[in-house]
Structure 1
Amino acid sequence: MHEASVVANIVDAVLEELKKYDVTKVNAVTIVVGDLTQLGIEQMEFAYEVLSQGTVLEGSKLLVEPEHIVLGCDKCGYEGPAKMIDFGEDGYGHDIPVLSCPKCGGPVKVLEGEACRVKNMDIETRDD
């Protein structure tokens, strides 16, 4: 479950950033998670709840915004979503992106979909 280690790093980074402010309460932490990370959102939320206990983050929500895959092809100029292949039987599998140009089949650059970053924090300070 690599979600726990990713969330541990996020919690550590957020707590370090919060040291700069006179924080009385954290309501929410919003993160952006790309489809290519293959991170499980429910697992991340659970790990956040556990790892935030005993800190100023305890009781806050982890809000996750998805970042969908966007590919760019220098060969034909395509910019858009990846073609997806349904990988699995009876609908229990996962869609797997094809990382080649859906238009011409050429090589692509991943423009979006790899992110895992903190977007913002909803905090209350003594100055509020």
Structure 2
Amino acid sequence: MHELSIAQNLLALCEKNAQENNATKITKIHIKIGRLSGVEAHYLQSAFSVLQPESVCEDAELVCHTQEVIVECDKCGFNGELVKNEFICPQCKSTNLKVTDGEDMYLMRLEMR
């Protein structure tokens, strides 16, 4: 379960941001998880809840936003969401696609005081 190490890194990043902004509490953490990132939001939530006590994130709510897969077609220029897990352009049926979003996990916003 690599979500535990991701949760540890997320908490460390939150602590760092809180210190840099002279905050004593983080109340809400917004993250974006790409469908192709390999991160399972419910496992991350569980790991986070185990690690958050006795930290600046002790009472923080972790809000996970799922990012769909966004592709760009090198053949026809289509730029948009892939509805299925078929890496075929929905317009021209080319397989010459580049993924532009949906592969990573990002810390999007922290609410702190």
CA deviation vs aligned residue, 1:100-119 (integer Å, no higher than 9, x gap):
32332231000111121111
Instruction: Give the TM-score normalised by the residue count of structure 1.
Output: 0.79
The structure-2 alpha-carbon separation of the partners of 1:67 and 1:83, relative to structure 1 and needing over 3 Å to count, comes to closer
Give me the CA root mean square deviation: 1.5
Instruction: Give the TM-score normalised by the residue count of structure 2.
Output: 0.88
Specify the alignment match of 1:28 in structure 2. 28
**Equivalent residue letter for 1:99:** F
**Equivalent residue letter for 1:56:** V
CA deviation vs aligned residue, 1:68-93 (integer Å, no higher than 9, x gap):
11111011112222252xxxxxxxxx
SS at match of 2:36: helix
Runs (5+) with no aligned partner, structure 2 = none
- Count matched residues: 112
Q: Structure 1 residue 100 and structure 2 residue 88: aligned? A: yes
Runs (5+) with no aligned partner, structure 1 = 85-96
| Equivalent residues in 2 for 1:9-28, closer than 5 Å | 9-28=9-28
Distance in 2, Cα, partners of 1:26 & 1:52: 11
CA deviation vs aligned residue, 1:17-55 (integer Å, no higher than 9, x gap):
211122232111111111111321111111111111211
Distance in 2, Cα, partners of 1:13 & 1:33: 16
Deviation at 1:121, TM superposition (A): 0.6
**What's the % identity of the aligned pairs?**
25
Distance in 2, Cα, partners of 1:45 & 1:27: 15
